[in-house]
Amino acid sequence: MTDLRPPTTDEIERYAATHHMDLSEREVEDLSAAIPAVLGAYERLDELSASEPDVEYPDRTAGEAPSTEEDPLNAFVRTCLVEGAESGPLAGYDVGLKDNVSVAGIETTFGSDVVSGFVPSIDATVVTRLLAAGASITGKLNMEDLAFSGSGEMSAHGPVKNPYDPDHLAGGSSSGSAAAVVTGDVDVAIGGDQGGSIRIPAAWSGCVGHKPTYGLVPYTGILGLGRSFDHTGPLARSVADCARVLEVIAGDDPLDPRQGAVTTQPYTELLDESTPEALTVGVLEEGFGHDESDPDVDETVRDALDTLAETGTAIEDVSIPMHLDGLAIWNGVANEETTATIAGEGIGHFGNGYYDTDLMAAFAEARRENADAFPPTIKLVATLGEYLTEEYHGRYYAKARNLSMDLAAAYDEVLEDVDVLAMPTTPQTAHERLEDPSDLQIIERAVNMLPNTAPFDVTGHPALSIPVGTTDGLPVGLMLAGRRFDDATVLQAGHAVERSVE
């Protein structure tokens, strides 16, 4: 129980001043007299106990960090063992979790030194659903420090090496999730995606990664960056396994304030029924030829689409000029919203649903004591976000949110005529691993792969990355984006690509 005390007169003046109020001496005296009565209700809150989500399958082994010999790519933060139901659609599957996903009784590090020693008392909703489906949780997987980077080099536990070439990076922020899947150390993994953080490591490391429609999969029990663009979803070695996992974890969760009405589909059944001839793929002109683009990546993706056309899939060129503004719109949303999430003690405010008070308390204490340990990207975002909010009064955030609806409408208009949009997942292959990158190098390398992935985080459309070949020995990913809550068609198209390039 906290020690709740009324503010001093100096504190009343100071906290009022943060709202630009200059209180008179009489007003300070009046507030000082009124506040203790109001705090009586808060004292009662301290006396009450709120219910928490039940923890199913409580027998679990917390495990330990594997040795370098056991984990040469540095994909794991720790191995663990939580066994689920004896039967179910995921019986026999070993599942790894990005280390921002809560598992009761097992430390969660968020890839960071800022919040250390935090042990959740709850399971994330996706964990409860995975266990009920027969899966075993066998590892907490390395990730970028507090998830704000796409490169794979910023974890406090060290960079995650690329499975194809350890002199390159796995991609982020779900770095270990991709690497562990590709090596076969887990059958499937759960990642998180705010700017591309499932699809980027999937593309760079050579596996399948699916960012579901916004709100389709509950985010309860997972540390995020912004409620309007947090996504969680599967990474696997096949589209079929992504579909199987999505079928288990998707659906309504009254504990998640992000969700509205949720429409699910029989993803596995529809995947089995799909035929390439029934699909129309729109090749997005603006998804190619970025300043950051490697021509070999663009060519590899186009070659894969040509191969798909040979199976009977209709391929059409389409144009959405506003796609080129998608990254700017994402920046306008992500910077100020992430800043607000940090100020909201890692959880935020003003949504119906479950609030992890233990995580809020740990994050609140950590950011006040260890903020100097924030990674360069978080220092940049928090500083810039606060500046923009205070000096420009949220104007750019609000405008970016409004523009995101226009961008979504532009995608929707084209998706009336085609089933999915196709483009490279990232404009380049994996970054080379640097021994001692500067802060400016880290910042630049953290976000220079986002022009195709980030727009679909602010619009909420489902997007899937499928490996379609290599260039200079490094994997190339093709991304498909589809209509919101029609993840089944995106997976069908991905399945067709997968079969054609094999």
Catalytic residues: 98, 173, 197
C-alpha–C-alpha distance, residues 42 and 36, integer Å: 10
236: left (phi over 0), alpha (psi -120 to 50) or beta: beta
Q: Which of 251, 226, 264 lies closest to 351, judged by CA?
A: 226
Contacts for 309 with CB less than 8 Å, ≥ 6 apart: 315
Place of tokens 């404009």: 427
Whether 484 contacts 456, CB under 8 Å: no
Task: Report the run of H or E that residue 189 belongs to, with start and end.
Answer: strand 188-193
Within 10 Å of residue 448's Cβ, how many Cβ atoms? 17
The sheet carrying 280-284 orders its strands as 60-61, 76-83, 136-141, 94-98, 188-193, 231-236, 208-211, 463-471, 474-482, 420-424, 280-284, 314-318
Contacts for 482 with CB less than 8 Å, ≥ 6 apart: 415, 419, 420, 421, 461, 462, 463, 489, 490, 493
Whether 426 contacts 203, CB under 8 Å: yes
Bond prior to 319 in cis (omega within 30° of 0): no
Return the C-alpha torsion angle 9, 10, 11, 14, nearest 10: 130
> Looking at residue 212, what DSSP letter applies?
P
Q: Which residues pair with 295 in a beta bridge?
A: none
Contacts for 420 with CB less than 8 Å, ≥ 6 apart: 279, 281, 282, 480, 481, 482, 489, 490, 493
- The burial of 20, by beta-carbon neighbours within 10 Å (0-12 exposed, 13-18 middle, 19 or more buried), is given as exposed
C-alpha–C-alpha distance, residues 461 and 457, integer Å: 7
Task: Report the run of H or E that residue 14 belongs to, with start and end.
Answer: helix 9-17
